[in-house]
Amino acid sequence: MDVFKGQYEMIQRTRESLFRFCESMSPTDYVKEIETFGEVSISSLHAHVADCYRV
């Protein structure tokens, strides 16, 4: 179980870093579609990742 706990803690730290970075972005940039991301926005990718946690 220690391995799973360690992995989850690493995921939590990574998500926290991402959230801090997104807070520094302007709302316009957060929802702007990005060509290299397949014409989706960072907010769309955030929603997709959050949806992956649903069971």
What tens digit of pLDDT does each residue of 3-28 get? 989 988 988 888 888 889 889 999 99
Q: So what's the pLDDT on residue 23?
A: 92
Work out the average pLDDT over 40-44.
Answer: 92
Q: So what's the pLDDT on residue 55?
A: 62
The answer to whether the pTM exceeds 0.75 is no
Whole-number Å distance between alpha carbons of 43 and 33: 9
Task: Note whether 33 and 39 are within 8 A (CB).
Answer: yes
Whole-number Å distance between alpha carbons of 42 and 31: 6
